[in-house]
Amino acid sequence: MPADGPDEPRLLVAACTYNERENVPVLVSRILDTQPGADVVIVDDGSPDGTGDLADEMAAADPRVKVIHREGERGLGVATVDAFRYAIEHGYDLVINLDADLSHPPEAIPLFLERIDEFEVVVGSRYIPGGGIEGWGPVRHVMSRCINTYSRVLLGLTPRDVSGSFRCYRVDVLREIDFDDVFSKGYAFMEEVLFRCRLAGAEFAEVPFVFIDREAGDSKINAAECVRAVVDLARLALLRRFRR
């Protein structure tokens, strides 16, 4: 379902960035080649490498490219919330979120759009047939499997891959979430937003994709982020119990 016809839903593709100057031009080009009728918003967390400045240059050259410059509190969760709020405030129908490091292939976007008519959220999955991961060592594979199992059991989530950010949301379901209540600032945000979508009545589908580990730039995952994610997920489990 390409988003390039007059009767097609308005599609926003969002990528949150911090020091992704090498990857952003390639990412935006691939997104717009795949979905020429979409808009792309780069949400930059004050990257010292000039990612935000480069994004501004791209926006000046192509009106489909939008830029949000964030100051103050940094983090993947709060940056993604800003992307969602932008989609709501500017009247988009769908928002696709993906990583800026080229680990999520924009060429898979049509798979999401084929399913979003029937579901409120379509999750890109590394853990269903057809999905996979390239470039990880065994420790990271084990960590990812464990956090997915931990999250699914604690929060009652049904998708097989709840920790990734490659997803398509109907903006209508995002409007039902009070983002002021969202407390996960880092990687646990991905599980929290699915949990809050479920509370809003969303139904989920999954589509496969192959995750390819970044070739340029540095990963933002570290031990502190992992610990914070585990704590945030435990807080969400308490919220789920309390709501019961």
Would you say residue 1 has pLDDT above 70?
A: no
Would you say residue 11 has pLDDT above 80?
A: yes
Mean local confidence (pLDDT), 8-23:
95
| β-pair type (204-208, 11-17) | unpaired
What share of the chain in percent tops pLDDT 70? 87
Would you say residue 154 has pLDDT above 70?
A: yes
Structure-model confidence comparison of residues 108 and 221, the more confident one: 108
Closest CA to 112 of 188, 39, 165, 66: 165
pLDDT in tens, 17-53: 999 999 999 999 999 999 999 999 999 999 999 999 9
The pLDDT value given to residue 219:
55
Report how far apart, in Å, the C-alpha atoms of 88 and of each of 37, 205, 221 are: 18, 22, 29
Backbone angles phi, psi at 81, to 5 degrees: -60, -40
What share of the chain in percent tops pLDDT 90? 68
Rounded CA-CA distance 186/200 in Å is: 22
Mean pLDDT for the chain overall: 89
CB neighbour list of residue 87: distance below 8 Å, 6 or more residues apart: 12, 14, 41, 95, 171, 174
Mean local confidence (pLDDT), 199-223:
80
pTM for the whole structure: 0.87
| β-pair type (121-125, 204-208) | parallel
Judging by beta carbons within 10 Å of its beta carbon (0-12, 13-18, 19+), is residue 226 exposed, middle or buried? middle
Would you say residue 5 has pLDDT above 50?
A: no
Of 7-11, 61-65, 90-94, 174-178, which gets the smallest average pLDDT? 7-11
Would you say residue 62 has pLDDT above 50?
A: yes
**b or e along 69-97 (b: 16 or more beta carbons within 10 Å of the residue's beta carbon)?**
ebeeeebbbbbbbbbbebbbeeebebbbb
Would you say residue 220 has pLDDT above 60?
A: no
CB neighbour list of residue 62: distance below 8 Å, 6 or more residues apart: 32
Six-digit token pair at 117?
A: 């008519």
CB neighbour list of residue 28: distance below 8 Å, 6 or more residues apart: 40, 42, 58, 65
Angle between helices 51-61 and 24-34 (to 10 degrees): 30
Rounded CA-CA distance 222/30 in Å is: 28
Mean local confidence (pLDDT), 209-217:
79
pLDDT in tens, 77-96: 999 999 999 999 999 999 99
Q: What type of residue sits at position 81?
A: V
Mean local confidence (pLDDT), 212-224:
63
Check if the beta carbon of residue 26 is closer than 8 Å to that of residue 61: no
The pLDDT value given to residue 165:
94
DSSP result, 18-55: SS-TTTHHHHHHHHHHH-TT-EEEEEE---TTSHHHHH
